[in-house]
Chains A and B, each alone.
Chain A
Amino acid sequence: MKTERLTRIVWVNRVLLSHYRRHPLQAIFLLLGLTLGVALWSAVELINGHARTSYADAEQFLGADAHFWIRPTGENAAVSQQDYIRLRRLGFVELYPIIEARLQTREQDWLILLATDFMALPIADAQNNSSETATPFVGDALAFMTPPFQTAVPESLASELGINPGDQLTLTNGQRLPPATLQSRPQQGERLVVDMAAAFEVLNRDNFDYLGVTKLSASREQALRQALPEGLILTRNQQSLDLQELTDSLHIQLAAMGWLAFVVGLFIVFNAVRFSLWMRQATLTTLREMGIGLDDLALAIALEALFWSVLGTLLGGGLGFLLGNLLLPTVSSSLGSLYGAIITPTVTLTARHLLQAAIMTLLGVTVAVAGPIWLSARRSIRQQQHQTLDQQFQPRQLGVQSLSAVALLGLAALYYFQIDSVSDGFVLLALVLFGSALSLPPLLYGAFWLAARSMPASWWRLRWAMRDAFAQLPHLRIAMMALLLALVANLGVSTLVGSFRIAFTDWLTVRMSADVYVQSATLDADALLTQAPLKVQASHARTGLNLRWQDRPTEIRGVNTQAPDMRSLPLALSEPNALSQWAEQGHLRPILANEQVHHLAGVNLGESVSLPTDTGTVDFQVVGFFHDYGNPYYAFYLPKATVSQYWKNAQPMGLAIWLQDTNLQAFEPDLLDAGAEPGDWIDQRQLMSVALQIFERTFAITGALNTLTLGVAGVALFAALMSIHQQRLHQYAHWRALGVNQQEWLLIVGGPLAGMVMVTGLLAIPLGAVLSALLIADINIIAFGWSMPLNWSWHPVANLAILTTLTLILTGLTALWRVQRQLPNALIRLGGTA
């Protein structure tokens, strides 16, 4: 019995698959749809992964990745190896040692040498867990860390100094640096990098200048403070780029896009499978007449679906992999070059990834297959025999669709006021997207109905075209929905990325508007400013303290209201003249707060906040909220004088300096003279350009992704068109026999198509805007408490319009060409069988 059924199923499958042998083009389209759908989704996933790596990459920038410093307190003191090793033995693996020295070569060039313990650098995160077992140091890296060692010299510096690979720089004291290797790694800046052991030898010392500390939780921070030996203090790095939240935010947004790509993929798969089943309707009925039960048929179809999903997943996964490696110009290299480590490529085809893709395609295929099987289960075979192949548009189906669309959108509108978690937000997005997709066919129907009615009778060709739309609509419906979602995804991604780029650039610009940022225990700031008045254009010394407010870490900053970075502080929300009110400090004690205070603590403009001060709680009136992307804490800005009035323990928080000319190198001796030590200052121009470079790479990839999305929708459309024309060939032959010429045919058949694409495109614009607005203005605030300005641009819309039109013309012309080729044959048959 079992084997009997098995052979039967095998035969049914052979019958079903014979369809593709005779119609290879359909197999190709089905597979193409599946493959591209999976590849598209994979690409989004890859970008997501890449974005995370990029952020981590930016964070790893030496000097910027440290959230804290451990510095010696005394003059000319250092951190001993014993102290470092003891702390690491205590489990503080967040620490890494840094030696930063200013050296002069025999040729009188000043250089900064940077050394660290590469084994201790916290890069494990960025590598994911893929290379946990393998050592990240192989090949050259080994040479880097073992005698005779190597000096990593930035290429620009090498050409400036005339250094070739293998050369050894000689210092004024006669010491020679290890042989040079040239590496272009933006993070390194103009500094020489050597391994710690090499630095000990060259500098003839056995201690470190300071220790860097990566991110610490509040409790870890406390524990580390307590474990610190006498003579070392832990200070917060005011300039650390805390990109974690920004990363998470972009990640959520891209995850939403990934799901959207997933849905587009589902639609395409659905379309392809539905169509192939529908083409085989007669065969299915014949099989049932021959005693194949619905259960056997369903099993056979499920097997076929499985076959396609597996094939599509493998091909799509492979394509995604190729694409990923093509698009992401070796992420690992930037990390690798920084630390001399070779890191396994981040873009890998994981089993989990493939499994997800398989589930996606299988889901699409199953949903597509379930409908027709369920329908035939309800109908007798006899009813099926009488089903005409030329399905007409069913008003009932249209009604059901309109009602569901209205219901979903109505639900979305109600739900909008209820959302208070990220998953709620995603449900809302799903409601909006599906509701809109469902509303598309009724909208198209309505549009054509109106157009046909409003046309004078003498325009018979156009009227015919409008009527023809109704014949095309049932077949193009799903493809149009896929196109709509693809366009929405496209616009959404463009808007998101654009907004992120602006938010990120703004954030960096505000935070890093100064040229140099000095954080030094030994610097005499007044001496520096009086000593080099011609070099310094402006400076800003902040004070501040951290306290807890509303049960959250809160930053209070005392600022100079007239400093360049404060005079034009961009505010998200503000009262009129907020900045001048705040600078003047009237009796209401105006204060500026970050957006998080508004969104998370629920404080509105004009309301008061009660902050704990030395003399008890004091009320301040919030006159403005500033953007503070990615800050997980509450933050308040007050004039410096006000801060010192209420908080005696406010500490200096570093000195930002704007230089007359941006040549930092010329200013460095002044810094040293005023008491700063090498490593106390950060070149902000360079930091910013590196960070921006890294992000630009991520943004560039989304461009490629966008094109791909549209390509997928284009293929879906193309496949649908091909199949429609295949079926209607007979009808076209009739028309031709009636004397319809080629131009008329093009108008009648192509006109409705162009109209449909246009309506779809127009609907996609507001939908794309709504989607990005929901993501940026609602979901992001719920998740993180800060918003970004929504950067709506017509540029991607125009690009999309051009691309879509090109796709349309291309598919239209190909369809025309095929029909023209097959029409003579169809005309011959017209006489034969009909």
Chain B
Amino acid sequence: MLRFTHLSKGYAQPDGFLPVLNDVSGEVARGESVALLGESGSGKSTLLHLVAGLDVPDHGTMLLNDISLTDASAQTWNRLRREHISLVFQDFHLIPTLNVDDNLKLQARLAGQLDLDFCNQLIERLGLTGLLHGLPGELSGGQQQRVAIARSLAHRPTLVLADEPTGNLDEQTAQDVMTLLIDCVRAANSSLLMVTHSPAMAAYLDRRWHLKAGELHED
């Protein structure tokens, strides 16, 4: 489903070129969940951003559903991000001026794939029923992240990319949110690639990748 081969990426920095990813390859199957582990600065976010098309690799190829993403146009990437790839961030990225209900349906509406039954199912699963009419700013961090998760899954994307989704939450909340995320990803039959620092969290997922010195290893 998702396959990337020989990806390389580096950044020009004041003290010279900094190679971040060095010829990394990997594959995620439909419905599979993968944890991405590594030290701070090892390039986890960089890899995630490349896969999401938010940044461009220096070398390498990518395939999603057997469609080549190498040299894909901005339009193609926009379409993919609308319909097939969802992002979940550490700091939620909710629209502060839309209420919870509108926030969680937004991505599905933009994709033109709003399925109200599935939305209601997600709302129930994520325990958002009583919060629908409030604004994101009035919710706790855990509640906000649950809204973000609902938003990313409402249109049943092919792939969910999550960058430390529980990084801002306390341990107990993090664990609850993580369980819900995995649960909902399964319900949507989506794949998940999740960056995390916590081996405990990684243990919930099907597979684990480690980034170290620009190289990707699986254990």
Q: Which single residue of chain A is at the shortest CB-CB distance from B98?
A: A18
* Contact of A22 with B by CB under 8 A: yes
* Interface residue count on the B side (C-beta < 8 Å): 29
Q: How far is the CA of A285 from the CA of B95 in the complex (A)?
A: 10
* Contact of B26 with A by CB under 8 A: no
A292: B residues at CB distance < 8 A: 78, 82, 110
Q: Which single residue of chain B is at the shortest CB-CB distance from A23?
A: B97
Can you give 17 contacting A-B residue pairs, CB < 8 Å? A4-B112, A7-B109, A8-B112, A15-B97, A15-B98, A15-B106, A18-B95, A19-B97, A22-B135, A289-B52, A290-B81, A290-B110, A291-B77, A291-B79, A291-B81, A292-B78, A293-B75
B94: A residues at CB distance < 8 A: 286
Q: A380 and B110 in contact (CB under 8 A), knowing A18-B95, A18-B97, A292-B78?
A: no
Inter-chain contact A381/B54, CB cutoff 8 Å: yes
Most buried by B among A22, A291, A292: A291
Most buried by A among B75, B87, B95, B112: B95
A382: B residues at CB distance < 8 A: 49, 54-55
Inter-chain contact A291/B97, CB cutoff 8 Å: no
Inter-chain contact A291/B83, CB cutoff 8 Å: yes
Q: A291 and B111 in contact (CB under 8 A), knowing A15-B95, A22-B135?
A: yes
For A142-165 the 0/1 string (1 means CB < 8 A from B) is 000000000000000000000000
Residues of B at the A interface (CB closer than 8 Å) are 49, 52, 54-56, 74-75, 77-83, 87, 93-98, 102, 106-107, 109-112, 135
B69 to A: closest C-beta gap in Å? 14
Inter-chain contact B111/A22, CB cutoff 8 Å: no
B106: A residues at CB distance < 8 A: 11, 15, 290
Q: How far is the CA of A381 from the CA of B75 in the complex (A)?
A: 14
A207 to B: closest C-beta gap in Å? 81
Inter-chain contact A286/B93, CB cutoff 8 Å: yes
Q: Which single residue of chain A is at the shortest CB-CB distance from B79?
A: A291
Residues of A at the B interface (CB closer than 8 Å) are 4, 7-8, 11-12, 14-15, 18-19, 21-23, 282-283, 285-286, 289-294, 296, 380-382
Q: Which single residue of chain A is at the shortest CB-CB distance from B55?
A: A382
Q: How far is the CA of A383 from the CA of B206 in the complex (A)?
A: 32
Inter-chain contact A291/B82, CB cutoff 8 Å: yes
Q: How far is the CA of A19 from the CA of B135 in the complex (A)?
A: 12
B131 to A: closest C-beta gap in Å? 17
Q: A291 and B78 in contact (CB under 8 A), knowing A7-B112, A283-B97?
A: yes
Inter-chain contact A289/B95, CB cutoff 8 Å: no
A507 to B: closest C-beta gap in Å? 61
Inter-chain contact A283/B78, CB cutoff 8 Å: no
Q: How far is the CA of A291 from the CA of B80 in the complex (A)?
A: 7
B79: A residues at CB distance < 8 A: 291
A16 to B: closest C-beta gap in Å? 9
Q: How far is the CA of A286 from the CA of B81 in the complex (A)?
A: 11
Q: A380 and B97 in contact (CB under 8 A), knowing A291-B80, A294-B74?
A: no
B87: A residues at CB distance < 8 A: 289-290
A380: B residues at CB distance < 8 A: 54-56
B26 to A: closest C-beta gap in Å? 20
Q: Which single residue of chain B is at the shortest CB-CB distance from A283?
A: B95
A794 to B: closest C-beta gap in Å? 49
Q: How far is the CA of A164 from the CA of B85 in the complex (A)?
A: 90
Majority DSSP secondary structure for residues of A touching B: helix
Q: How far is the CA of A292 from the CA of B77 in the complex (A)?
A: 10
Inter-chain contact B96/A22, CB cutoff 8 Å: yes
B81: A residues at CB distance < 8 A: 289-291
A381 to B: closest C-beta gap in Å? 5
Inter-chain contact B78/A293, CB cutoff 8 Å: yes
Q: How far is the CA of A382 from the CA of B89 in the complex (A)?
A: 12
B95: A residues at CB distance < 8 A: 15, 18, 283, 286
B52: A residues at CB distance < 8 A: 289
Q: How far is the CA of A19 from the CA of B96 in the complex (A)?
A: 8
Q: How far is the CA of A14 from the CA of B56 in the complex (A)?
A: 31
Q: How far is the CA of A15 from the CA of B98 in the complex (A)?
A: 7
A23: B residues at CB distance < 8 A: 97
Q: Which single residue of chain B is at the shortest CB-CB distance from A280?
A: B97
Known pairs A22-B135, A289-B87 / 5 extra A-B pairs, C-beta < 8 Å? A12-B110, A23-B97, A291-B77, A291-B83, A380-B56
B98: A residues at CB distance < 8 A: 15, 18
6 closest A-B pairs by CB: A291-B82, A291-B81, A293-B78, A18-B97, A22-B97, A381-B54
A283: B residues at CB distance < 8 A: 95-97
Q: How far is the CA of A7 from the CA of B75 in the complex (A)?
A: 17
B111: A residues at CB distance < 8 A: 291
Q: A293 and B54 in contact (CB under 8 A), knowing A11-B106, A11-B109, A283-B96?
A: no
Q: How far is the CA of A7 from the CA of B95 in the complex (A)?
A: 18
Inter-chain contact A290/B96, CB cutoff 8 Å: no
Q: How far is the CA of A291 from the CA of B54 in the complex (A)?
A: 10
Q: How far is the CA of A15 from the CA of B52 in the complex (A)?
A: 23
Kindly identify which residue among B55, B110, B135 contacts A291, using a CB–CB cutoff of 8 Å. Answer: B110
Inter-chain contact A11/B110, CB cutoff 8 Å: yes
Q: A293 and B109 in contact (CB under 8 A), knowing A15-B98, A382-B49?
A: no
B102: A residues at CB distance < 8 A: 14, 18
B55: A residues at CB distance < 8 A: 380, 382
B136 to A: closest C-beta gap in Å? 11
Q: How far is the CA of A18 from the CA of B82 in the complex (A)?
A: 21
B85 to A: closest C-beta gap in Å? 8
Q: Which single residue of chain A is at the shortest CB-CB distance from B94?
A: A286
B45 to A: closest C-beta gap in Å? 9
Q: Which single residue of chain B is at the shortest CB-CB distance from A12?
A: B110
B97: A residues at CB distance < 8 A: 15, 18-19, 21-23, 283
Q: How far is the CA of A292 from the CA of B80 in the complex (A)?
A: 10
Q: How far is the CA of A380 from the CA of B95 in the complex (A)?
A: 20
A7: B residues at CB distance < 8 A: 109, 112
Q: How far is the CA of A382 from the CA of B75 in the complex (A)?
A: 17
Q: How far is the CA of A640 from the CA of B49 in the complex (A)?
A: 95
Q: How far is the CA of A11 from the CA of B108 in the complex (A)?
A: 11
Q: How far is the CA of A157 from the CA of B90 in the complex (A)?
A: 88
Q: How far is the CA of A282 from the CA of B135 in the complex (A)?
A: 16
A830 to B: closest C-beta gap in Å? 15
Q: How far is the CA of A282 from the CA of B92 in the complex (A)?
A: 11
Q: Which single residue of chain B is at the shortest CB-CB distance from A285?
A: B93
B50 to A: closest C-beta gap in Å? 10
A195 to B: closest C-beta gap in Å? 69
A745 to B: closest C-beta gap in Å? 25
Q: Which single residue of chain A is at the shortest CB-CB distance from B93?
A: A286
Q: How far is the CA of A286 from the CA of B54 in the complex (A)?
A: 12
B135: A residues at CB distance < 8 A: 22
Q: Which single residue of chain B is at the shortest CB-CB distance from A381?
A: B54
Inter-chain contact B93/A293, CB cutoff 8 Å: no
Q: How far is the CA of A293 from the CA of B79 in the complex (A)?
A: 9
A18: B residues at CB distance < 8 A: 95, 97-98, 102
B83: A residues at CB distance < 8 A: 291
Q: How far is the CA of A770 from the CA of B49 in the complex (A)?
A: 56
Q: How far is the CA of A268 from the CA of B95 in the complex (A)?
A: 27
B98 to A: closest C-beta gap in Å? 5
B170 to A: closest C-beta gap in Å? 14
Q: How far is the CA of A135 from the CA of B5 in the complex (A)?
A: 85
Q: Which single residue of chain B is at the shortest CB-CB distance from A833?
A: B141
Q: Which single residue of chain A is at the shortest CB-CB distance from B75?
A: A293
Q: How far is the CA of A4 from the CA of B112 in the complex (A)?
A: 7
B109: A residues at CB distance < 8 A: 7, 11
Q: Which single residue of chain B is at the shortest CB-CB distance from A380?
A: B55
